[in-house]
C-alpha cells in the first residue's frame, strides 16, 4: 500500500462546515487538504490550480452553484472526482448533480469514518451513494409516476400551483384550454395522481416545484 495521501479541496459557503471538514481531514491519517473555496467559481479555480484527487462540493452556494461548478470541472477535463455534500437525503439537486458528473454523495451528518471511506472511494473513482439516494435513483427508474415531466407540462403545473384556473393558464401560455387539460391529464398520469392538488403535492415531494 502506498502511503500517498488523498488530496482534497473543500468547497462550502458555510465557514463552520469548511472549518469542521478541514479539521477532520487534516487531523486524520492519509488526507491532505489543499484548499478551501466558498463558492463554485472559486472551487473550480482551486481545483485547476492544485489538481486535487477529490473536491468536496456543497450544492447550494451563492455565486456559482455546485451543479454548474461540477459541469465546469468536467468540461475542463480535470481529473479530480467530485463528492457532493448534502444536508438532507431528500435534496432535490442530487440527481442533476449526478448527471453533471459527480462521483458520489456525502451526507454532512455522516460519522467521521464514513467521510473517510467515502473520500477514499471517490479518489479511486468508485461511486459513493447513501442508501436513501440510491433508492431514490432506483425509484426514479421504475415504479409508477417515474417519467419526467416535459417542459410544457412543468409550465402548466407551475401555474396550477399558483391557483391559476385552466382558462387563465391557457391565456398565459397562448394555447387553448383543451391543450391545458390535455397536459394536465398527462401530468396526472406521470405523477400517479388524480387531481391538481395532489399533483402539486407530489411535485413538491420530488423537488419539481419549490
Partner DNA sequence: CCCGGCATCATCCGATCGGATGATGCCGGG
Q: Which residues in this chain contact DNA in the complex, by CB under 7 A? A: 147, 150-153, 165-167, 170, 173, 175-179, 181-186, 188, 194-196
Which SS3 state, helix, strand or coil, does residue 128 take? strand
Contact (Cβ atoms closer than 8 angstroms) between residue 172 and residue 162: no
Q: Which is nearer to DNA, 29 or 194 (CB)?
A: 194
Could you say which of DNA, its own copies, none residue 184 binds, taking C-beta under 5 to 8 angstroms by partner kind?
DNA
Q: Is 65 left (phi over 0), alpha (psi -120 to 50) or beta?
A: beta
Residue whose CB is less far from DNA, 127 or 185: 185
Cell readout for 92 is: 432535490
Per CB under 8 A, contacts with its own copies among 24-53 are 24
Smallest distance from the beta carbon of 199 to its own copies, in angstroms?
7
Look at residues 69, 63, 65 and name the one whose alpha carbon lies nearest to residue 55: 69
Neighbours of 58 (CB within 10 A): 27
Q: Does 76 bind its own copies (CB under 8 A)?
A: no
179 touches, from DNA, its own copies, none (C-beta below 5 to 8 Å by class): DNA
Cell 479518489 found at: 123
Give 80's Cβ-side CA count (13 Å radius): 33
Nearer to DNA, 11 or 200 (CB): 200
Binding residues (CB under 8 A) for its own copies: these are: 13-21, 23-24, 87, 108-112, 115, 160-163, 165, 193-201, 204-205, 209-210
Amino acid at each position: 500500500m502506498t502511503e500517498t495521501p488523498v488530496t482534497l479541496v473543500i468547497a462550502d459557503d458555510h465557514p463552520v462546515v469548511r472549518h469542521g471538514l478541514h479539521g477532520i481531514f487534516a487531523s486524520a491519517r492519509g488526507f491532505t487538504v489543499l484548499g478551501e473555496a466558498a463558492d463554485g467559481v472559486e472551487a473550480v479555480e482551486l481545483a485547476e490550480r492544485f489538481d486535487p484527487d477529490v473536491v468536496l462540493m456543497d450544492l447550494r452556494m451563492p455565486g456559482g452553484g455546485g451543479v454548474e461548478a461540477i459541469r465546469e470541472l468536467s468540461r475542463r477535463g480535470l481529473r479530480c472526482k467530485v463528492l457532493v455534500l448534502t444536508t438532507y437525503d431528500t435534496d432535490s439537486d442530487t440527481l442533476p448533480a449526478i448527471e453533471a458528473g459527480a462521483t458520489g454523495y456525502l451526507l454532512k451528518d455522516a460519522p467521521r469514518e464514513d467521510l473517510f471511506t467515502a473520500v477514499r472511494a471517490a479518489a479511486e473513482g468508485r461511486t459513493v451513494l447513501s442508501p436513501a439516494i440510491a433508492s431514490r435513483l432506483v425509484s426514479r427508474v421504475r415504479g409508477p409516476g417515474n417519467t419526467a415531466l416535459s417542459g410544457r407540462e412543468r409550465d402548466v403545473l407551475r401555474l396550477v400551483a399558483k391557483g391559476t384556473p385552466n382558462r387563465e393558464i391557457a391565456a398565459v401560455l397562448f394555447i387553448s384550454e383543451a391543450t391545458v387539460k390535455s397536459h394536465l391529464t398527462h401530468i396526472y398520469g406521470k405523477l400517479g395522481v388524480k387531481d391538481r392538488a395532489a399533483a402539486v403535492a407530489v411535485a413538491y415531494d420530488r423537488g419539481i416545484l419549490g
